[in-house]
Structure 1
Amino acid sequence: MTNRTAIHPRLHALIGDIAADVPADLAREIECALEERQLPPSRPTFLSCLNAIRTGDDQAGRACTPQTLSAAGFGSLDRSLAALNAVLDLLHAAERARLDGDPQDQLGDLHRDGLIVAARQIARAAQDGLGDALEPAGARPR
């Protein structure tokens, strides 16, 4: 699976998601013709980027390929995601209490910041648990 939006941006800007159904050789010819006319490719919008991520692109816009995780890697990833979900539940409850609760029922800034830091660390542990499954070796930014 490839990200056809990235490969043929002008065609995608012209006809939208239906561009994915155009045969690759024809799409390439149309893209070249549009480029010759010096039509600028569309710039990615928030919603188009979000849609691409939801359909399987990684953080850099590359298409993800199926990978096999070891049992230990899967277990680590599963635990990290469960922990992240728990921390996000706590943050959500803290935000609701901040908006609707009395001052004595609210979580302080120190604890809220601590939960945010914990969520970041757990997310990093989950990403590390994937190892090289999503990105070429040595390409993962820190």
Structure 2
Amino acid sequence: MKTSTRLAVPFFYALLMSACSNNESVPTNFVGFERRIEKHTYDVSHQEETITLKIVAGTKQDKDLKLNISSSSTPGAFKIQDATPVIPKGKKAVKVNVLLYPKKISNGQRVLHFTCRPEGKDAKVSEISIHLQKK
């Protein structure tokens, strides 16, 4: 019994590590938000809070890839710090900060929607929804 346990533990550890690897989970032709849904708990007593969104590519870029970040949500409660980020040549990701103004969030506003459009005619749009919750 002890021998089989000693053999099984490394096997399951290796299986767990391969399952948690993010490199293989992104399709090679994908460029967009790392997640489709995020949750953010905000404190009304704060003037502003920062939400960081990660945009990933399936492969390292052979040239700089320009992106366009936009939102269909009501403006005023947030500001995209860099609405035109660039994934640099040789990289697979870039981070974008969104400033959230908790005091300007209306009672009915529970979700922020953002879209990422890579530059290019064959580019697919990626979307993310950020669910807001008051602390």
TM-score strictly above 0.5: no
Structure of greater relative contact order (alpha carbons < 8 Å, 6+ residues apart): 2
Q: TM-score normalised to the size of structure 1?
A: 0.27
Q: Which has the higher strand share?
A: 2
